[in-house]
Structure 1
Amino acid sequence: MNDAMKNARLSEDLQLRVLEGGPVHYEYSTDKPVEYVTVADEHGRVLGYLWGCDADDAAGWVDHQVAGRAALQAAGHWVMKLRNAKSRALLPSQALAELSTEPGAGRSGQIVPGSQAKAESVEVLRAKANEGWEPPAQPESPRGRRR
């Protein structure tokens, strides 16, 4: 390749830098006890759980596995609500209390009144969310040779 065809941008090492900013959020995990509330759809089917821990300034969403895709669709709505609460400097417990008073939002479900509870950890809550869920069966391998 001649010098005229060389481009310095293509031969320099990338200089990756962490930039400040981006959306504010609670910590994503904790090993301490958590408070949580249940989120259900208009038919009463549990979609997932919003949890918070003031001690670690942590909060998040746990899908109820049996709800499948509906739980994943609801997660985005509730995570955005948590980010909004964090941007206003609310503690996770304050965010859960505030969100518990809001009406439902269609497919995102609503917090079940009176569902406030505590779990020993997020992992215990995840185990609760997995109760009754069976992984999908593996498809059978095709027999013989395909052409």
Structure 2
Amino acid sequence: MSRERHVSPRTTEPLRFNEVASAPHYVRSTDKPVQFVTVANPQGTVLGYVWANDEDDAAGWKVRRAGGDEAFNRGALYVSKLRDAKTRGLRPTAALAEIVRDTDPTGPSHVVPGSLRQAPSLGTVKDLADQD
């Protein structure tokens, strides 16, 4: 018997990677002023904030840490809405306005009426989200 080990070619052949384009998305950070809205569940618990800035083509969801898993999970809806808006070519604040307009207060989460505000920076929104 031979003591040579058989090495499968599939473990030694070079791997080929194909670069795939990602879905369009807004920039995830800005140091400029932002517009933002508060998102809550039907019981009124704040889950997070959707924010936008046209100058840097930036927008995103900032989960409220105290909102726990529910806040994290509900954020996926708003991230999806932002990606869809970017794909359609909307400016970030137009996407935010659309989210406000299309909110459903009877759904599992909604934009709190009258919560549209301006903040001097994204850091202000992050500070809100980090409060317990």
- Shorter-chain-normalised TM-score: which range? 0.7 to 0.9
Supply the RMSD in Å over aligned alpha carbons.
Answer: 2.0
Alignment pair present for 1:123 and 2:123? yes
TM-score normalised by structure 1 residue count: 0.78
1:94-143 Cα offsets, whole Å, 9 max, x none, are 00001101132732x11112111111222221111112x2xxxxxxxxxx
Rounded to whole Å, the distance in 1 between the matches of 2:66 and 2:11 is 48
Alignment pair present for 1:10 and 2:17? no
Where 2:52 maps in the other structure, the secondary structure is strand
Rounded to whole Å, the distance in 2 between the matches of 1:123 and 1:57 is 17
Sequence identity (%): 40
* Unpaired stretches in structure 2, ≥5 consecutive residues: none
State the AA in 2 paired with 1:90: L
Out of 74-83 and 25-34, give the one that drifted further.
Answer: 25-34
Where 2:94 maps in the other structure, the secondary structure is helix
Question: Structure 2 matches for 1:1-147, cutoff 5 A?
Answer: 2=4, 5-14=6-15, 16=17, 19-104=19-104, 106-107=107-108, 109-131=109-131, 133=132
Paired positions, count: 129
TM-score normalised by structure 2 residue count: 0.85
* Unpaired stretches in structure 1, ≥5 consecutive residues: 134-147
